[in-house]
Each structure stands twice: as structure tokens, then as C-alpha cells.
């Protein structure tokens, strides 16, 4: 929000300096973002007159000028290249040492082509005023010399820019800012009253409102016989100062009130309207050209203003080019309305349109101001453009904006941390426009002013007249919480100055700092570290992808479709990170990098909710080493990666079983599901289904896994102790068990591991044989069992006893026999 100092003083009676005003604005929460003071920037420039201009003796395009720069300067010689430099011309003079904003140079006295030059004659562009000129600026004839150019041109009016938070729509008006400063003690708010303009005829344009949910109340009136043209100099200067381009008197008046009172208005060329009626209604897919030249297609969710010919304005956001005011306009219809802030914001975002009107409507405008604002705008139109006004026409009703707020005085210190006397607290609220309805020693009830839409509404307890005041207040507390009370406390404290609140440290919750990371964050970081250590590269992708790609990895319910995707091919929440990983493998393969391993730890989505998944893919071949050929990746690589992550996360890997019911995007005979018990699924691993890879340029195997991190139980917290290392050598024994081909190796390993819990430290599968050396329909599994004595070295008898127990356990569990027996 930008405004000039003189504009602020139209509403605020104060002698405060710019620095004092800025300091107070920062204190009361309207943070100053910058101050632009053209007067200070242009202080060195002064008015002057060319006494004589003659041709430069050594340059065809230069002239030597004798310049009268006024008191304090002797007559100065300046070499000038402007074609309009001539004797008697009043000009802008920059003495040596002056910084030129438009050229970013500092003037020095010197010599040009042998002639002394003691300054510079300037154009407006060189002063940074944004206007092009073929030569130097020409001031009116007879201009007094030696004046400050900033004073002469009325540029000594600082421009202040403040940051306005979304809840403070009232601060998007110069009057609202003046009200806050007056309440903070920096002057007095000047009275403002709009004089009524009596209508002399019935308006030929009337209203109809078919969309009251979006526009509860709309006013308007016709002003005929106007003469549109450039607005007066004072109005143009104000608009230019805040960055607006003057267009015409009628348009400039609406822009003025948008900033002066925070009240957006719009003027239609009444002669270009069709049918004599404007209708507030929903859009229906029509297209109209807005004032910024864009063609806008409106939908039923957009509120529009239409006449018999079609849409003429996107209500509350931007008018249409077809009915905009022009230099030929002689009759206008002035619109002043209230619009629903949420609908304005949604329409603006959906259509990508932003305007000063939208900026104010979506933050809330003064709901009691439309009548007075329409009268004020009508009077200014008649004063600047002439004409006569019609009677006011309207549709809808003024909203019931009246509401009350409650404050317990003790809560100012208890919640705000600053002890403010009750009388001062009430006086602060009254200065901001709140009116006291009821007050006692402990609390006050105030009526909220119409311009403070940010003050939360309290329940009015007319429905409970039998309650005592204390019980009624408690009922209101329970019904509407304490939102409005907190808002009032904030108002009182900011007028006192937020920097006057003594800082208080938060109480320490524990002598030992709490963990900085949650268990979920910790296990996510652990999974990343383990997978990176195993040679995989981490990727980070969007949590959404193309619906077609997601459908290859699971269901794509309509509830997980994106209504407003950032791209047409990113319209579905992904079921698993494998969607993005496979796309990355495909892109790398197409560019000559088929052998790679990638992983991502991120979310997957289903109708039951979101889950955290650690997923990885390996493709092509494993790395080559001297004396060893490169082997294609297989499902065992994926299983090893998955088990390594499970082990690092503290999952009981030895108790994990594998079943052959992997999802459809895995190869049905080369995949498995990792389970903890019959119900808990920890993950899936295996080779991707060939049909998934067909037509994607992937002619090498691709294997991977998915681990569902949320399904992995957090390990019990135990005190870490040093491991007990045995002083005795381990003993290794190999077994070759012949089992049926349908017997899982895991069943054999689990049976062997459970044969003797005390001495067996590890069981490992090292060979699988299926050939003519074993009976048909059978296979041989080579199993290594490690025995670790703890108290003493094992005797042969003890070793044989354990081996016998292993064989017996495997035979019982799987019907296995030792190879070479039977």
C-alpha cells in the first residue's frame, strides 16, 4: 500500500515528520517497506534561464550556453547537446557534484571540445521522472531562477509504502491508516462526511441480482452530460506518486477512491449498455474482453455483471473493454457493490486476474460505506466532469454486519504480557472506532466498527435472557471461543507498541533436550543412508504423475485425481515412488546409461490414506570387477537391499517370512512379499513384470523393492551395552538337504536355526542345485551352520549332537534328507 504524505494529511491533522510517521507505523504493526522522497533526491536541481546560447566553435551538434542559475551562483557556462537549447529558455540546472538519477552519473565541471562546462541542463528523463524528451525540459516562460525544482514542480511529497497483512483490509485505505495513527496519538483524524447529491431524474439503468450469495448488495446511479478528459493535475500527481498511470478523469476518480477510502468503484459508459438493466449473475462459459486487453472466459463459479448483450464485467475484479469509459463518454453508470471475499479470491486465482479492486474485496471492505462512497464519487464526477445525477438504484439489502466483542481486562496482562489500565484499554478501542455497549470493573462489551472485518464475531446472547451476566459471558466463551477477545487484546497492545512488551523465554520442558527428529524422520534418514551406502543414487520426484503411468502400479481412484494439476501429465497422486523411478530408469537408458540403481523415500497414496515408502530399482548389470564378469541384476539383489534396510531399522529380519503373492506389477515367479507374521506386510521385492517394460525401450532386467516404513514397528528402546564377544573360535558345518522343489529355502533355514538356540549363531544358504544328481522333482540346498561356543571349546561329541539336532529339525519341518543318503 502506497500513499503520499500530503494525501495522509488530508485525513490526519498532524505536524509529525516522515520519520516520526514511519516509526509509529512500524510500532503499531503497519510495517514500512520503503520511503521514496523525490524532494530529497532532486534537492540539488534548480530552476535556471539560458541567457545566451551560441554554436560551439568545435562541434556542430553542441551549443555553448550562458546560464543564470539564480542567487548564490555566478553566471555559469554550460555546453549542451540538446537541439532545443536557445536563448531565453527556462530550464532545469544541475550544478557540479549533482547525481543524475536517470543516467546514474555524477556531474563534474570540465571541458568539452575546448569549451568549459560547469554543470548540466537536464531533461525529465534524466531526473528519473519517466518521461522521454527530445531535448532538455522546457519550463514555463518567466519562471523564477534559483528555485528548488522539487518545490517548483510539487515533487517534495514523500511516498510511503507499507506492508499490509491479509486480515487488515481497512489499512488498504489512506483513511484507515490515518485512523490508526490518530488512535496511536500521532495527530487527530479529520472528520469526513459525504454530501448527498440529489437525483434529478430516474436512472435509465437499473439493477437485477440473480446471485445474492456472491453479491448481497449493489448500488448505482447514472450521471449524464459529463465531459471526460484528463483529470486535474493534483489527481494525476497523486496517482503517479503511488505507481498508477492516469487514464481519464472518470477512471482516475474510481482509482482515487479505491486508495483514499478503500472503496473500489466502477464506471460503465451508460450509452454503450444494452437493454437498460445490469444483472448480477453467474457466468455461463461466455468470453469477454477485460480492460487489460485479455479475453476472459467465465464459469458458473464466477460472479459477473451482464446486460442484454452479454457479460460486461467480472464483478469485483475487472470491468470490460466494451463498456469502459472513453474520451467520447457523455453518460456514465457508477457501480458500488459488496462482494463475497472468498468468491472474489477464487475467481481471481482461477482466471489469473489481479487488480486493486480484487486486492481489497478479497480482504474485506467497509460494509457500511457503499452509500456514502457513491455520494462522494458522484460529487467528484460532477465537480471534475460536470453533468447531473439520477436517483440511486439498488438490488439486495445492506448486510447485517453489526457484531459485538468481549474483553476481560485481566486477560490483557495474562495473555498479552503487558499491564494496561482498564481506562486506557477502553480509550484505545474507542479511538479505533469501537463503541462501548456495556462495561463493569472486570470486562467490557464493544460494538465492532463496520470497517474491521478481521475482528472475530461473538455470539449475541439475546436467546438466553435468564442467564446472569457472568454466566452469559461464559456461555459466549464456550460458543465462540476467545477469538474476538484475542483480537481486542492485539489492538490494545499494538497501539501501546509491541516493542514495549518485555521478552520472556519459553519455559524449559526438560533438563535434557527433546529429540530434534521424530521417529519417522529418523527411520527415513536411516533408510536413505543405507541405500546410498549400497551404491544406489537418491532421487526426489513429485508426489503426482500421469494417470496412465500410475495405473501400471495399482489402482487410480478418482478421489486421488488432481483438480488443478501443474501440468496435464501430472494429474494423479502416485500409488508408489516406483512410478517416478521407472520413468527415471527409462530416461537414463534412452541416453545410454542402462546400468544404474536409483531409490526414493517418499509418500505413496491410496484411498485408505498416505504411506511412507522406501523404494528402489536396479537395472541392467551389476558393476564389473577384475576377474569377474558383470552379472545381470536379479531379484536377490532387490531382496538383499530390502533386508539391509529392514535390519538397519531394527526389524526382526530372522522372523521375516516370504510369500509369493506380490502385486501385479512384479513378475509372478520372480518376486515375493516380506511379512512379519501372517498379517503385517513389510514390503515387496522382485523383478518388474515384462509387460510393464514392454515398449519402453528397456530390454534388460529391472528389479526393485518397496518397503512400507509405517508398517515397521519401532524397536524397543533398550540401554545399549557392549556386545559380549566370545574368546573361542566359531565352528562351521555344511549340510546338503534334498527337498521337494516346492519347498522354500526359508523354511529349511528357519528349521535349522531353531534346532539349537544356544550354540547356533548363524544359518546361511550357499548353494541351490537342481539336476540329474538328485531325484526328479527335488532340489539340493547347501546350508552353512555356524556354531559359536561361549564358555568352552566344543568337543567332537557336542558338535555331532548339534549337527544331529539340525538334521532332525529340518527332516521334521520339510521332509528333507541329507544328500547321499537313502
Task: Dig out the grid coordinates for 409 from the structure.
Answer: 481486562
501-532 confidence digits (pLDDT tens)? 888 888 877 778 777 888 888 889 999 999 99
Q: Comparing C-alpha atoms, which of 676, 658, 654 is closest to residue 760?
A: 654
**Pairing between strand 702-708 and 760-769?**
unpaired
Q: Comparing C-alpha atoms, which of 338, 340, 345, 339 is closest to residue 359?
A: 345
Q: Classify domain 404-496 at the CATH class level.
A: alpha beta
Residue 605: CB partners within 8 Å, gap ≥ 6? Answer: 543, 560, 573, 574, 575, 611
Residue 348: CB partners within 8 Å, gap ≥ 6? Answer: 317, 354, 355, 358, 362
Buried b (16+ CB within 10 A) or exposed e, 757-777: eebbeebeeeeeeeeeebeee
pLDDT category of residue 326 using cuts at 50, 70 and 90: very high
Kindly report which listed range (113-122, 216-225, 498-507) carries the lowest average pLDDT score: 498-507
pLDDT category of residue 330 using cuts at 50, 70 and 90: very high
Mean pLDDT in residue range 602-627: 89
544-555 confidence digits (pLDDT tens)? 999 999 999 988
| Cα angle 361-364-368, degrees, rounded to a multiple of 5 | 105
Model pLDDT, residue 715: 76
Instruction: Answer yes or no: is pLDDT of 822 > 80.
Output: no
Instruction: Answer yes or no: is pLDDT of 154 > 90.
Output: no
Return the SS3 of 261. Answer: coil
Mean pLDDT in residue range 393-403: 92
pLDDT category of residue 53 using cuts at 50, 70 and 90: very high
Residue 197: CB partners within 8 Å, gap ≥ 6? Answer: 375, 378, 379, 382, 389
Per-residue three-class SS string for 663-693: CCCEEEEEEEEEEECCCEEEEEEEEECHHHH
CATH 3.40.50.720 applies to domain 206-396: no
Are 2-37+158-189 and 206-396 equal in CATH topology?
no
Q: How many CA atoms are closer than 13 Å to the CA of 418, on its beta-carbon side?
A: 19
Instruction: Answer yes or no: is pLDDT of 742 > 70.
Output: yes
Q: Binding residue per annotation — 454?
A: yes
**Pairing between strand 188-189 and 331-338?**
unpaired
**Phi-psi bin for 453: left (phi > 0), alpha (psi -120 to 50), beta?**
alpha
Task: Dig out the grid coordinates for 765 from the structure.
Answer: 544358504
Q: Binding residue per annotation — 20?
A: no
Task: Dig out the grid coordinates for 339 from the structure.
Answer: 462482494
Is pLDDT larger for residue 655 or for residue 360?
A: 360
Report the C-alpha gap between 260 and 255 in whole angstroms.
9
The rounded Cα 311 to chain-centroid distance in angstroms is 31
**Pairing between strand 110-112 and 115-117?**
antiparallel
Q: What is 40-152's CATH topology?
A: OB fold (Dihydrolipoamide Acetyltransferase, E2P) (2.40.50)
Report the C-alpha gap between 474 and 312 in whole angstroms.
51
Instruction: Answer yes or no: is pLDDT of 266 > 50.
Output: yes
pLDDT category of residue 467 using cuts at 50, 70 and 90: very low
Q: Binding residue per annotation — 419?
A: no
| CATH superfamily to which 731-818 belongs | Ferrodoxin-fold anticodon-binding domain (3.30.70.380)
- Total count of residues recorded for the chain: 822
Do the beta carbons of residue 227 and residue 248 sit within 8 Å? no
Q: Classify domain 2-37+158-189 at the CATH class level.
A: alpha beta
Instruction: Answer yes or no: is pLDDT of 471 > 60.
Output: no
Report the C-alpha gap between 146 and 286 in whole angstroms.
60
pLDDT category of residue 130 using cuts at 50, 70 and 90: low
One-character DSSP codes across 271-339: GG-STTEEEEEE--S-EEEBTTS-EEE--TTSEEEEETTEEEEETTTEEBSTT---TT--EEEEEEEE-
Q: Comparing C-alpha atoms, which of 13, 31, 10, 11 is closest to residue 22?
A: 31
Model pLDDT, residue 383: 95
Average pLDDT, the chain: 90
370-384 confidence digits (pLDDT tens)? 999 999 999 999 999
pLDDT category of residue 153 using cuts at 50, 70 and 90: confident
Mean pLDDT in residue range 127-144: 82
Report the C-alpha gap between 207 and 336 in whole angstroms.
11
Q: Comparing C-alpha atoms, which of 620, 612, 611 is closest to residue 592?
A: 620
The percent of residues in the chain predicted with pLDDT above 70, rounded, is 96
Kindly report which listed range (66-75, 324-333, 522-531) carries the lowest average pLDDT score: 66-75
Report the C-alpha gap between 425 and 629 in whole angstroms.
84
Greatest C-alpha distance within the chain: 129
Q: Comparing C-alpha atoms, which of 205, 228, 379, 199 is closest to residue 305?
A: 205
Q: How many CA atoms are closer than 13 Å to the CA of 122, on its beta-carbon side?
A: 29
Per-residue three-class SS string for 641-668: HHHHHHHHCCCCHHHCEEECCCCCCEEE
Do the beta carbons of residue 218 and residue 338 sit within 8 Å? yes
Q: Comparing C-alpha atoms, which of 184, 157, 156 is closest to residue 171?
A: 184
Model pLDDT, residue 131: 63
pLDDT category of residue 473 using cuts at 50, 70 and 90: very low
Task: Dig out the grid coordinates for 419 from the structure.
Answer: 499491564
546-595 confidence digits (pLDDT tens)? 999 999 998 899 999 998 999 988 999 999 999 999 999 999 999 999 89
Q: Where are the domains of the chain?
A: 2-37+158-189, 40-152, 206-396, 404-496, 519-711, 731-818
Do the beta carbons of residue 708 and residue 611 sit within 8 Å? yes
Instruction: Answer yes or no: is pLDDT of 348 > 50.
Output: yes
Return the SS3 of 352. Answer: coil
CATH architecture for the domain at 519-711: 2-Layer Sandwich (3.30)
676-731 confidence digits (pLDDT tens)? 988 899 999 999 999 998 888 888 889 999 999 999 988 776 667 777 788 899 99
Mean pLDDT in residue range 466-470: 43
Do the beta carbons of residue 688 and residue 582 sit within 8 Å? yes
Q: Binding residue per annotation — 490?
A: yes
Helix (H) or strand (E) holding 22: helix 18-27
Model pLDDT, residue 718: 65
Do the beta carbons of residue 317 and residue 357 sit within 8 Å? yes
pLDDT category of residue 621 using cuts at 50, 70 and 90: confident
pLDDT category of residue 132 using cuts at 50, 70 and 90: low
Instruction: Answer yes or no: is pLDDT of 646 > 70.
Output: yes
Q: Comparing C-alpha atoms, which of 492, 496, 459, 457 is closest to residue 478?
A: 459
The percent of residues in the chain predicted with pLDDT above 90, rounded, is 73
Amino acid at each position: 500500500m502506497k500513499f503520499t504524505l500530503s494525501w495522509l494529511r488530508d485525513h490526519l491533522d498532524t505536524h509529525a515528520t516522515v520519520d516520526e510517521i514511519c516509526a509509529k507505523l512500524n510500532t503499531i504493526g503497519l510495517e514500512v517497506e520503503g520511503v521514496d522522497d523525490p524532494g530529497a533526491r532532486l534537492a540539488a536541481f534548480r530552476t535556471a534561464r539560458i541567457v545566451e546560447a551560441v554554436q560551439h566553435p568545435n562541434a556542430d551538434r553542441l551549443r555553448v550556453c550562458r546560464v543564470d542559475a539564480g542567487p548564490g551562483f555566478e553566471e555559469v557556462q554550460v555546453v549542451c547537446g540538446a537541439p532545443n537549447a536557445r536563448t531565453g529558455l527556462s530550464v532545469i540546472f544541475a550544478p557540479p557534484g549533482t547525481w543524475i538519477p536517470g543516467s546514474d552519473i555524477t556531474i563534474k565541471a570540465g571541458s568539452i571540445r575546448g569549451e568549459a562546462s560547469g554543470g548540466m541542463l537536464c531533461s525529465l528523463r534524466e531526473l528519473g521522472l519517466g518521461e522521454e524528451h527530445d531535448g532538455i525540459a522546457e519550463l514555463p516562460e518567466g519562471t523564477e531562477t534559483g528555485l528548488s525544482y522539487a518545490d517548483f514542480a510539487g515533487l517534495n511529497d514523500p511516498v510511503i509504502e507499507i506492508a499490509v497483512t491479509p486480515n487488515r483490509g481497512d489499512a488498504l485505505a489512506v483513511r484507515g491508516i490515518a485512523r490508526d495513527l490518530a488512535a496511536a496519538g500521532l495527530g487527530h483524524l479529520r472528520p469526513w462526511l459525504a454530501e448527498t447529491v440529489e437525483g434529478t431524474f430516474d436512472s435509465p439503468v437499473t439493477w437485477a441480482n440473480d446471485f445474492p450469495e456472491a453479491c448481497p448488495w449493489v448500488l448505482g446511479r447514472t450521471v449524464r452530460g459529463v465531459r471526460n478528459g484528463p483529470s486535474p493535475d493534483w489527481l494525476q500527481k497523486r496517482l503517479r506518486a503511488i505507481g498508477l498511470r492516469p487514464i481519464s478523469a472518470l477512471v482516475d476518480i474510481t482509482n482515487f477512491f479505491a486508495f483514499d477510502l478503500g472503496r473500489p468503484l466502477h464506471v460503465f459508459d451508460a450509452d454503450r449498455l444494452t437493454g437498460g438493466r445490469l444483472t448480477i449473475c453467474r457466468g455461463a462459459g461466455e468470453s469477454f474482453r477485460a480492460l487489460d486487453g485479455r479475453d476472459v472466459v467465465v464459469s458458473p463459479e464466477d460472479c459477473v455483471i451482464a446486460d442484454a448483450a452479454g457479460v460486461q464485467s467480472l464483478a469485483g475484479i475487472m470491468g470490460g473493454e466494451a463498456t469502459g469509459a472513453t474520451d467520447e463518454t457523455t453518460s456514465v453508470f457508477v457501480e458500488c457493490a459488496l462482494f463475497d471475499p472468498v468468491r472474489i479470491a477464487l475467481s481471481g486465482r482461477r482466471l489469473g486476474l489481479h487488480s486493486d479492486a480484487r486486492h481489497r474485496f478479497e480482504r474485506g471492505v467497509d460494509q457500511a460505506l457503499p452509500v456514502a462512497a457513491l455520494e462522494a464519487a458522484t460529487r467528484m464526477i460532477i465537480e471534475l466532469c460536470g453533468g447531473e445525477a439520477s436517483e440511486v438504484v439498488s438490488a439486495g439489502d445492506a448486510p447485517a454486519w453489526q457484531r459485538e466483542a468481549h474483553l476481560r481486562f485481566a486477560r490483557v496482562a495474562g495473555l498479552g504480557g503487558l499491564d494496561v489500565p482498564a481506562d486506557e484499554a477502553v480509550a484505545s478501542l474507542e479511538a479505533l472506532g469501537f463503541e462501548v455497549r456495556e462495561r463493569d470493573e472486570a470486562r467490557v462489551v464493544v460494538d465492532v466498527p463496520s470497517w474491521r472485518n478481521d475482528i472475530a464475531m461473538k455470539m449475541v446472547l439475546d436467546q438466553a435472557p435468564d442467564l446472569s451476566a457472568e454466566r452469559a459471558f461464559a456461555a459466549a466463551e464456550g460458543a465462540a471461543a476467545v477469538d474476538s477477545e484475542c483480537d481486542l487484546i492485539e489492538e490494545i497492545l499494538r497501539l501501546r507498541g509491541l516493542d514495549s512488551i518485555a521478552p520472556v523465554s519459553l519455559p524449559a520442558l526438560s533438563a535434557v533436550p527433546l529429540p530434534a527428529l521424530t521417529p519417522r524422520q529418523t527411520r527415513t534418514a536411516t533408510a536413505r543412508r543405507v541405500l546410498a551406502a549400497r551404491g544406489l543414487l537418491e532421487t526426489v520426484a513429485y508426489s503426482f504423475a500421469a494417470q496412465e503411468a500410475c495405473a501400471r502400479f495399482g489402482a487410480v481412484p478418482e478421489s486421488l485425481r488432481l483438480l488443478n494439476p501443474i501440468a496435464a501429465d501430472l494429474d494423479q497422486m502416485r500409488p508408489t515412488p516406483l512410478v517416478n523411478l521407472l520413468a527415471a530408469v527409462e530416461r537414463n537408458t534412452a541416453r545410454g546409461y542402462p546400468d544404474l540403481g536409483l531409490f526414493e523415500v517418499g509418500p505413496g497414496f491410496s484411498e485408505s490414506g498416505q504411506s511412507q515408502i522406501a523404494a528402489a530399482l536396479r537395472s541392467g548389470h551389476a558393476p564389473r570387477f577384475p576377474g569377474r564378469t558383470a552379472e545381470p541384476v536379479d531379484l536377490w539383489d532387490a531382496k538383499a537391499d530390502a533386508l539391509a534396510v529392514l535390519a538397519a531399522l531394527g526389524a526382526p529380519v530372522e522372523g521375516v517370512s516370504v510369500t509369493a503373492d506380490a502385486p501385479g506389477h512384479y513378475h509372478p515367479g520372480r518376486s515375493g512379499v516380506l511379512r512379519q507374521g501372517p498379517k503385517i506386510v513389510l514390503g515387496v521385492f522382485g523383478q518388474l513384470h515384462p509387460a510393464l517394460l514392454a515398449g519402453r525401450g528397456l530390454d534388460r532386467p529391472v528389479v526393485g523393492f518397496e518397503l512400507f516404513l509405517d508398517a515397521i514397528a519401532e524397536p524397543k528402546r533398550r540401554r545399549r551395552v557392549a556386545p559380549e564377544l566370545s574368546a573361542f573360535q566359531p565352528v562351521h558345518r555344511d549340510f546338503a538337504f534334498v527337498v521337494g522343489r516346492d519347498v522354500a529355502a526359508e523354511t529349511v533355514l528357519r528349521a535349522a536355526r531353531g534346532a539349537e538356540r544356544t550354540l547356533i549363531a548363524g544359518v546361511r544358504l550357499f548353494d541351490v542345485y537342481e539336476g540329474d544328481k538328485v531325484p526328479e522333482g527335488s532340489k539340493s540346498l547347501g546350508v552353512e551352520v555356524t556354531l559359536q561356543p561361549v564358555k568352552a571349546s566344543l568337543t567332537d561329541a557336542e558338535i555331532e549332537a548339534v549337527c544331529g539336532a539340525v538334521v532332525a529339525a529340518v527332516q521334521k519341518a520339510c521332509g528333507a534328507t541329507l544328500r547321499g543318503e537313502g
